[in-house]
Amino acid sequence: MSGHDRYRPPAWLRGPHAQTIWPAVAAPAPRVAMRRERWTTPDGDFIDVDFAKPEQPREDAPLLVLFHGLEGGSGSHYARVLMAAAVQRGWHGAVPHFRGCSGELNRAPRAYHSGDSDEIDWILRRFAATRPPAAPLLAAGVSLGANALLKWLGERGDAASFVSAAVGISPPQDLAAGAQALSRGFNRVYMDNFLRTLKRKSLAKLAQHPGLFDRERMLASRDFFGFDDAVTAPMHGFASCHDYWARSSCRQFLGGVRVPTLVINALNDPFLPAGALAAATEVSRFVQLDYPGEGGHVGFLGGGFPGRFDWLPQRVLGFLAAHLPTATGPAGRDQPGGTARADPETPTGAHAHG
């Protein structure tokens, strides 16, 4: 990774919370025209998929599939930024909404969660089945969507090689450590914001399916320890929040990845302590770790005030483009993602592997 590829925050945007909040709520993000399709899931439910395409689309152009974060969607700042950048390159883009995240409650007695790699699998396979054979399929995920995507890549190994390359942005690699971090101090602001919409959706889900989980325990929850234990775990077949986190955290699966994959985590991400990130020795040779010293959670804003989203789309799409079959030969098992690395200017001890 050359020096110009390394993220550096602008002088006016300092600290993990500013680098997380300002990009999400105040920095200007592009508007992207999108077309929505409704897909029926294998269990008879539905998801909504929003598609973006360039003005002069080529059928054999790459398709970038982006999996959004917790309570996000195609309107999230990162989705707009990455879809706009993809379209500008002449690529097709798609944002599949996890169940209940497209503005309409899904029908089944379930929602979505960080470890739902089976959902990732059928979505990507449906994209692959409907694309021209010569059109590369690329995948990226953000936060929760990144964790689920990376888990899928590690579980499937060579069976995931129909995807040419992938990127995980700010994945909560250790869900238990992330839940602990979000339960303390200023991070309660993020936690309270998540719980506001999650509880509202949970009440609607109980109206659909009475008795699905304990209503009073859900309403009384104040963090992910309470909410995931009361709702996410029982609704999706886990024994407890700890069982859910232990089985779903992507860190343990990174050694099994066989598709060129970039993992981006800022060392100052308030959602996850730096010590919970995977070390270079834990990942396969197909995985490149990019751990900038700063950037917040899905922030990485640049430029003068009020900021520009330039580094993240350049880093993500640049990595993906470098692993396109037409750019570097057949992608997949013979094309590792590069050596794992962290920011060389990170102070000693700031991260588990320096």
Catalytic residue set? 143, 269, 297
Q: Please check whether residue 129 is in contact with residue 55, taking contact to mean a CB–CB distance below 8 angstroms.
A: no
3-state secondary structure of 167: strand
CA atoms within 13 A on the CB side of 28: 7
C-beta separation of 221 from 227 below 8 A: yes
Dihedrals φ, ψ of 37, to 5°? -125, 145
| CA gap 312, 58 in Å, rounded | 25
Task: Determine contact, residues 292/343, Cβ cutoff 8 Å.
Answer: yes
Q: How far apart are CA 292 and CA 172, in angstroms?
A: 15
C-alpha span between 205 and 67 (Å, rounded):
22
Return d(Cα 285, Cα 281) in angstroms, integer.
Answer: 9
Quickly list H helices, 228-322.
233-235, 241-248, 311-322
In Å, what is the CA distance from 290 to each residue of 172, 270, 283, 294? Answer: 14, 17, 12, 11
Which neighbouring-strand residues pair with 341? 290
Give the residues across from 38 on adjacent strands: 48
Contact 20, 93 (CB under 8 A): no
